[in-house]
Amino acid sequence: MGIEYCDNGQFVYAPLWWHRQGLSQTASGYGAQLTTPWKTEYQGKLYRVYQTCYSNAASSWIVVRGQRLHLSNTTLPE
């Protein structure tokens, strides 16, 4: 089983409470499943964007029906 990619649509800014307060999910800012303040459209539905981040590299992905799909367009707006 390899990594599965999907073509995602536009990003929508949808922060959670800790994003609005300027907090991060972990003390270091690194982790295996970090919740981002972004959602993206995939097959007509919005999905929360997650990231795996260690060192200075991150991988962005969504969960669709229990399956992790990595985003082919990972340039998140600032």
Which tens digit of pLDDT belongs to each residue from 10-31?
Answer: 889 999 998 899 888 888 889 9
Give the global pTM.
0.85
pLDDT of residue 4: 84
pLDDT of residue 76: 63
**Amino acid identity for residue 55 in this structure:** S
Note whether 8 and 14 are within 8 A (CB). no
In angstroms, the CA 20 to CA 1 distance is 37
pLDDT of residue 77: 64
Q: Which residues of the chain have pLDDT under 50?
A: none
pLDDT of residue 7: 81
pLDDT of residue 3: 81
DSSP 8-state class, residue 9: -
pLDDT of residue 33: 93
